[in-house]
A and B are shown apart, each in its own frame.
Chain A
Amino acid sequence: MAAQIASTRSLSVGAGSAGIVATALLLLGLGAMIFAPRVVGEYGTEIGFRALIYLTLAEAWNLLAGYGGLVSLGSSSFVGIGAYILMGMLNAGGFGIVTALTASGLGAAALAIMVSPAVFRLRGLYFTVGTLALGEALRLFMINVSYFGGATGIFLKSNPPPTEVLYVYAVALAGIATLVMEIYTGTRFSILLRSVRDDEDAASQVGVRAFRVKLLAFAVASLLMGAAGGLQALKLGAIEPYGMFGLQWSIDTLSIVIIGGLGVRFGPIVGTIFVIALAEALADYPELHLAMTGVILILVIRFAPKGLCGLGQDVCRLLIGRWDRPGMPRAGGALP
């Protein structure tokens, strides 16, 4: 299965020095964004915050599904867990924000580790459906258990910090996500991860402990998602199961990455910009916005499997003539 996904995706641009450049650019960009609020004002900061949260989620999902071949529809599980953990810790008192966010991430990672033996036994489609069920199950659980606030949820007892401060946290988180991506896609771990994605059995035959490799990717991605969830909770000030464990997170994350380019280093950021722009353009028509997202998703899957980034690369290739980069898969069928 993973091999089939791989054949419709392009390789990471981030191999070797090219990747370091990419990461440096991204970090610079993020650094610059710290100063953005002064320029764009309050509403712009809001959008920026949303974009940064999405970027973090998208980077994490790209690691999981793009590089690891694990297509998960359960992002909401980890976002939600992170949110509730943060709320719980801040309400309990005595914990700083950074500590709480770290706990959110670690809690989500713990959840991932807990479910991995069961979930990794499922290959391909079953894995995806299993993650979907996990997210829903958690949502229903949270609705019913009154200790966690039930359907009404819980709210932050103290005042949340102002948007500008949260914005800086978001920048920092996105920066961490970028660094993590660089580590996991630019270093030797990327080689092991991609080998498992391409052909898990052949990878085992060459000594790769596939389960551990998948688990590491899964845990790291979940950690990032949990921290993002925690930050989002902090911004909202009040959370409840429909919002934090809702399918919306899984849909948005998936759409961003596929539209931007699955398995492509710049995919998440391109996707985030596109999706946020679309959301703003259609801000008055939320249903239309979502429906359009669905349409674009279908079109991208059909006509541009490498996403907008892939389209861009194809255009560049046409214009420049030759795009000589090692590792670009040709358009050829695989052997039987």
Chain B
Amino acid sequence: MKPGEDVTSASDRILLRAAGLTKRYGGVVAIDHVDLTLRSGEVCGIIGPNGAGKSTLVGLLGGALSPTAGRIHFDGSEVTSLPASERARRGIGRTYQIPRPFLDMTVEENLLVAQYSLSPLVGTRAAYAQCRSVLERTGLADAAKMPARALPLLRRKRLEVARALALRPKLLLLDEVGAGLIDAEVTELIGLIHSLVKEIPTIVIIEHVIRLVRECCQRLVVLDFGRQLAQGLTSQVLESDEVAAVYLGTGHGSLKAGPSERASSARARLAQGGQRAGSLAGMVGAGEPKASGAAMPLLRLEAISAAYGQAKALNGIDLVVEAGQAIAILGSNGAGKTTLAKVISGAIKPSSGCMLLNGEDVTGRSAHVLAARGIAHCMEGRRIFQPLTVEENLLIAARGVSAIEQRRRLEEMYLLFPALAERKAASGTAISGGQQQMLAIARALMAKPRLVIFDEISLGLSPIVVDRIYQALGELRAAGLTMLIVEQDMDRVLDLVDYVHVLEHGSFALSGSPPEVKANPRLRHLYIGAAD
């Protein structure tokens, strides 16, 4: 089976059938009645925006998660209640989004685990020979005796694939294996996948990197909000407007509106927001007017680098933020956006470079020190304090001020987000995703910060809610709040900000004003891997 071949030439034998798969976490539905049929001999891709449920689906198929409802049949028998180890023995292999090799074992030993668990009595020579052949196929032969801990990110990904291969699986689930790779590396990976197709009957590729699915998969399934949105031949699915809209975040709710219409409605919203700006001015800390060149920048990053152990996440970032500016940080998954946000707020210490806040060197200071200096970070995933009530979540952020001042700020927040006022005594667990996001934003504002970082605030929220949130952001923008917006949802952000940086592999690949960046063909390439 070669990719690109008509899907009907795949055998008719059904290898996996999942029916009505549902996974619920308390009130949140991660996967909602998804049906999936996989035939022997096909390469199927699963795509969808962040938070769509792709990784949950992989967990359900691989056995790491057990479904709240639904059934899974694999190779003729039902496997719904089988744990991961049994499914692996029957031939389901998976890789992890963030590689999880056995760090304190050598590369070879990592593969031997699979060998020995499948065939405990296999001869040592045969086992090692088998390992060697898999390592050669995945380009790791020279690293056989190295500890897994010493491998850089791309090689760890290869090890993930090799380890799954050592299982001789019938179904291979590749979970975001292309994340964080540059173009040349993606080409290598595509070559590897093509070579695997011959020996593994069925491969499922869960991906953000569209180029990978375009060149490897015959069939695509699109997930959104835990449900199946679309399904069909790769080329057809990728050309569908609906899918493009969902994936690129081009205004979830306003599909019918063209770009210019959306822009003007956004501007209208901003204008509306401007009228409220006066009352909001009190919320903006150290109310400095828009920078007039001569003034010192509020924030300056010089040659900032950061790493997680082996993996370099940021590489020589230079960034200037003037007071009153709104700056967007865009980039695909794994580009380093959240790392940058965490370095600025102090959750991560940079490995080199320096950071200046209003001229003061704050490099490497702790998070709570930077918070006291006026940097607020509305973290990815909201990070509400679940056991605390809404009001307590807000109060905890207003530090070092009198009780009267705290009350005053609380009232301002309730004005900005009336929904929170209604739920002020509810605990963090009892409010919806949209309300949690509002709470996270309000909490960040309670400290009267000089600079707020909004990290992926549209994640997992419905279009209407995102509209409301961006409306609030617009109002804050007009009131003069300095903000850094880290986002995947491009369109809304570009209407809001003064300047844009696009991150790729830890450095800024593209910078400019919104119109410049929008018009640049590299933007789409950076996001979906091929210019349209």
A residues 4-31 near B (Cβ < 8 Å) are 6-7, 9, 11
Q: Tell me the nearest residue of chain B to A208, going by C-beta.
A: B117
B308 close to A333 (CB less than 8 A): yes
| Given contacts A207-B88, A330-B150, A336-B98, A191 and B103 within 8 Å (CB-CB) | no
Q: Which residues in B have their C-beta under 8 angstroms from that of A329?
A: 103-104, 147, 149
Instruction: Flag if B117 contacts A192 (CB, 8 Å).
Output: yes
Closest residue of B by beta carbon distance from A326: B145
Interface-lining segment among A151-159, A194-202, A271-279:
A194-202
At the interface, yes or no: A210 with Cβ under 8 Å from chain B? yes
B83 within 8 A of A: yes
Asked whether A202 lies within 8 Å of B311 as measured between CB atoms, the reply is no
- A188 lies within 8 A of chain B by Cβ: yes
Tell me the bound Cα distance from A326 to B100 in angstroms.
Answer: 20
Surface stretch bound by A, among B108-116, B268-276, B391-399: B108-116
Please tell me if the beta carbons of B117 and A206 are within 8 angstroms of each other in the complex.
yes
Question: Is the beta-carbon distance between B85 and A195 smaller than 8 angstroms?
Answer: no
Contact with B along A176-210 (1 / 0, CB 8 A): 00000000000010011011001101111111111
Q: For chain B, what secondary structure do more than half of its interface residues adopt (helix, strand, loop), or is it mixed?
A: mixed
Cβ contacts B149-174/A at 8 Å (1 or 0 each): 11000001000000110110000000
- A191 touches which one: B101, B116, B145, B309 (CB < 8 A)? B116
Contacts of B149 in A (CB 8 A): 329-330, 332, 334
How many interface residues does B have (CB within 8 Å)?
44
Verify if A3 is at the interface (C-beta below 8 Å from B). Answer: yes
Residue among A191, A209, A334 facing the most chain B CB atoms (10 A cut-off) = A191
Contact across chains for A209 and B85 when beta carbons are under 8 A apart: yes
Q: Which residues in B have their C-beta under 8 angstroms from that of A326?
A: 106, 145-147
Interface string of A296-336 (1 = CB under 8 A from B): 00000000000000000000000000000011111011111
Contacts of B127 in A (CB 8 A): 188
A287 to chain B, nearest CB (A): 38
Partner of B104, one of A11, A204, A207: A11
| Pairwise interchain contact A209-B117, C-beta atoms closer than 8 A | yes
Complex Cα distance, B112 from A188, in Å, reads: 8
- The listed residue (B63, B100, B104) touching A202 by CB distance below 8 A is B100
- Given the complex of chains A and B, what is the CA–CA distance between A329 and B310 in angstroms? 13
Question: Contact between A206 and B98 (Cβ–Cβ < 8 Å)?
Answer: no
Does B147 lie within 8 Å of A327, measured CB to CB?
yes
Contact A335:B308 (CB < 8 A) given known A188-B120, A205-B62:
yes
Tell me, in angstroms, the Cα distance from A11 to B88 when the chains sit together.
27
A209 to chain B, nearest CB (A): 5
Q: How far is the CB of A219 from chain B (nearest CB, A)?
A: 17
Q: Is the CB of A335 within 8 A of B106?
A: no
Smallest beta-carbon distance A131→chain B, Å: 24
Q: Within the assembled complex, what's the spacing in Å between the Cα atoms of A188 and B93?
A: 21
Contact of B105 among A188, A194, A210 (CB under 8 A): A194
In this complex, the member of A11, A204, A333 whose beta carbon has the largest number of chain B beta carbons within 10 angstroms is A204
**With A201-B64, A205-B62, A332-B309 in contact, do A191 and B105 touch (Cβ < 8 Å)?**
yes
Residues of A within 8 A of B166 (CB): 206
- Given A198-B102, A207-B167, decide whether A330 and B88 contact each other with a Cβ distance below 8 A: no
The answer, yes or no, to whether B118 is at the interface (CB within 8 Å) is: yes
> Which residues of the other chain, A, contact B156 by a CB distance below 8 angstroms?
335
- The answer to whether B308 and A336 have CB atoms under 8 Å apart is yes
Contact B100 A199 (CB under 8 A): yes
Between A9, A188, A199, the greatest number of chain B beta carbons within 10 A of the residue's beta carbon is seen for A188
Name the one of B117, B146, B310 contacting A332, with C-beta atoms under 8 angstroms: B310
Does B417 touch A at the CB level, under 8 Å? Answer: no
Q: Which residue of B lies closest to A10 (CB)?
A: B104
Are B104 and A205 neighbours in the complex by a CB distance under 8 Å? no
* B105–A198 CB distance below 8 A: yes
Which residues of B (423-447) have their CB < 8 Å from a CB of A?
A: none
User: Which residues of the other chain, B, contact A209 by a CB distance below 8 angstroms?
Assistant: 85, 117
Name, among B117, B118, B156, B309, the residue most crowded by chain A CB atoms within 10 Å (CB to CB).
Answer: B117
User: What is the chain B residue whose CB lies nearest that of A194?
Assistant: B105
B96 close to A (CB within 8 Å): yes
B147, B308, B310: the one within 8 Å of A328 (CB): B147
Are B147 and A202 in touch, CB under 8 angstroms?
no
Is B484 at the interface (CB under 8 A from chain A)?
Answer: no
B99 within 8 A of A: yes
Residues of B close to A7: CB separation below 8 A: 103-104
Offer 27 A-B interface pairs, CB within 8 angstroms, sorted by A. A11-B104, A11-B147, A192-B113, A194-B102, A194-B105, A198-B103, A199-B100, A201-B84, A202-B102, A203-B85, A205-B62, A205-B64, A205-B96, A206-B163, A207-B114, A207-B117, A207-B167, A326-B145, A327-B104, A328-B147, A330-B150, A332-B149, A332-B309, A333-B309, A335-B98, A335-B99, A335-B310
User: 5 closest A-B pairs (Cβ-Cβ)?
Assistant: A207-B88, A333-B309, A207-B117, A326-B145, A204-B84
User: Which residues of B are at the interface with A, using a C-beta cutoff of 8 A?
Assistant: 62-64, 83-85, 88-89, 93-94, 96, 98-106, 109, 112-114, 116-118, 120, 124, 127, 145-147, 149-150, 156, 163-164, 166-167, 308-311
- Apart from A198-B103, A207-B118, A335-B311, what 12 extra A-B contacts exist at CB < 8 Å? A6-B103, A188-B127, A191-B116, A194-B109, A199-B102, A204-B63, A208-B117, A326-B146, A327-B147, A330-B150, A335-B98, A336-B308
